[in-house]
Structures are given as structure tokens and as C-alpha cells.
Amino acid sequence: MISTQIKEFTFQNCLMNASGALCMTEKELSALLDSNSGSLVTKSCTMNYREGNESPRYFETELGSINSMGLPNLGIEFYMKYSIENQSEKPIFLSIAGLSLEENILMLEKIQDSSFIGLVELNLSCPNIAGKPQTGYDFERTNEVLEKVFSFYKKPLGVKLPPYFDEIHFNEMASILNKFPLYFVTCINSVGNGLYIDFETESVVIKPKNGFGGIGGKYVKPVALANVRKFYTLLNKDISIIGCGGIENGQDAFEHILCGASMLQIGTQLMKEGVSVFDRIHTELQDIMIHKNYNSIADFKGKLMNL
Ligand code: DHB
């Protein structure tokens, strides 16, 4: 009932993890693979192993989360090998987040030359590396990156974007993305460089960057919905939207799809609840669809009404 499609890829259901959430180690990835998710994405990786930032680097709040992980990951060889060895009827997304264009190209060359048959999520929006701007906020650079990537890379690829807040920025980014044969666009990464504080102790709650970090969860849902909606209306219809941001229950999932999402990623709530979150949200979304008389996602995808 909630199966979905991104070009030639069919997913048994539209739910998956967001990159970063429980997807770094073999154990975590296998739990996702065995779960009721329709897909999974690996932790954003670099060429080589990275330890990441100092702890504490992740903190849960009543309404969401703040993180400054600093790209801890086991290196591309591990994630590529894992995704090749576990390719099944559950397609796998491989997330890459090189610290430079050159590093991304090197990783994509490796993937191109391998027997990987999944999708690459090219992360243009990590907010937690001190001194490294988020590529997605530099329009010229984003255009240059995509030109270089598509000059040689021929396998299925999409991009993960940061949130935008300005009409002009939506239009500019969409007109760049529309020039390329992207499979999907994931909206949104965390809202970068937020600050959460502990009122009692009068201090920040994570150690890196004096407490500044990416915000997820309930705080970001309206921003996520706006980005999904904008890009759904602005992008060529053959570029699918993957919605990410503040999905905690079936209603949140329904709203993302109504805005135009074909697939849904769960980050903060997966961290809070573990992989059983997929069973719960699956059931809740199905119940809503039954109640509203919808048989498939296509029946309401993108059909948000204006007043
Ligand atoms: C990290 C955080 C992100 O939001 C992201 O897109 C990539 C990496 C991190 O801090 O590890």
C-alpha cells in the first residue's frame, strides 16, 4: 500500500533512515537491513576513516536533537563493500560527503568502477566541519560540483540539500539542479548551526564548536515541508523528492508526501526509538490512508491544496 518508486527502483515501502542515524557500523546497518524499512542509507563517508568530533556530540531534547558529529565514519571502502554484499530487493543508498570536490570525485570513481548497483546520495550540506562551508549554500560551487560529477559519473545519483529560507534561493538552486540527470533530491539536512542550552547549568549541551550544531526533529518540520514543497513544484518531474525533517508519526509522513515526497527519511525519531519506528509509522500512515480512502501514495503525493 505504501510502496514507492524512484525511476527504475521500487521500494516495498517509503520509509528509510536519514543518513547519520544508526547507520555507521556493520551492526547498525544490518539492523536497518533486517528492519521493516523500505530502504537504508549509509553514514556519510569520506575516503578514509574519521574519528569525528569530541563527545558529547549528540544531544536529544524534548522537541528534537542537536548534533555536531564531525563526520565520524569507517571510510568508503567499508560502506561500498557492505552495500555490494547486501544488495537485494531492498535498494541501498550510499551517502558520500568528501571534504573537497576532489575527494568526492575520487569516491565516485571508485563507485563507478565497482559492482555497486544502488543509489548515491551526494551530501552537499554537512554543517559540522569547522572552516568548511556547506556546498549547498554556494550556488556557483554547487553548479561546478554537479558539472564535474556528471561529466563522468553514470550511475544513479541524487543530492542531499541544506534547508533554504529565501524564495530566490529556492529558484536559483532549482534551476541549477534541473540541468542535471538527478534521480532525487533529499530535503532537508539539519538546520545548521543552531544552539541549544541547558537552562539549569547555563551551558551548552554538546562540546564541538562551542555548542553549535545541526538541529533536527519537531523544530524543523515546517522548514522541511516548505523545502519539499518548493522543490516538488520547481524541479523537473523526473527528479524525485525524498522528504526528511521532523517525521515522528504517520501524520508527519502523510504531510511530507502531500507536499511531494516520494520517499521519507527518519533521523531524530529513529535515534530515539530504534528501528521499530518503521513498523509504527508504517501502521500509522496506512491507517490514515484507509481513513481517507487512499490506496497508494500516488493518490495524494504532491496534492497539497492552496486556499
Ligand atoms: C554530519 C552531519 C551532517 O548533517 C551531515 O550531513 C554529514 C555529517 C556529521 O557531523 O557527522
Quote the pLDDT of residue 298: 98
Determine contact, residues 71/50, Cβ cutoff 8 Å.
yes
* Residue 50 pLDDT level (bands cut at 50, 70, 90): very high
Could you tell me if the CB of 289 is within 6 A of ligand 1? no
Query: Ligand 1 pocket, 213 CB below 6 A?
Result: no
The 10s digit of each residue's pLDDT in 230-275 is 999 999 999 999 999 999 999 999 999 999 999 999 999 999 999 9
What is the chain's mean pLDDT, rounded?
A: 98
Query: What Rg value do the Cα atoms of the chain yield, rounded?
Result: 18
pLDDT per residue over 176-213, tens digit each?
999 999 999 999 999 999 999 999 999 999 999 999 99
Nearest CA to ligand 1 atom 6: 126
Question: Does the predicted model carry a pTM greater than 0.85?
Answer: yes
Alpha carbon distance 239, 219 (integer Å): 27
Report DSSP letters for 18-59, one per residue.
Answer: PTTSS-SSHHHHHHHHHTT-S-EEPPPB-SS-B--SPSP-EE
Instruction: Please give the number of the atom of ligand 1 that sits closest to the Cα of 53.
Output: 10
Ligand 1 centre to CA of 19 (Å) is 8
- The whole-number pLDDT of residue 97 equals 98
Query: Ligand 1 test: best mutation among 73, 123, 124, most atoms within 8 Å of CB?
Result: 123
DSSP 176-245: HHTTS--SEEEE---EEEEE-EETTTTEESSSGGGGEEEEEEGGGHHHHHHHHHHHHHHS-TTSEEEEES
pLDDT at 130 (0 to 100):
86
Which of 45, 126, 187, 259 is labelled catalytic?
A: 126
Domain ranges of the chain: 4-54+70-193+220-299
Per-residue pLDDT tens for 67-101? Answer: 999 999 999 999 999 999 999 899 999 999 999 99
Query: Does the domain made of 4-54+70-193+220-299 have the CATH classification 2.60.40.650?
Result: no
Ligand 1 mean position to 43 CA, how many Å? 9
Tell me what pLDDT residue 141 has: 97
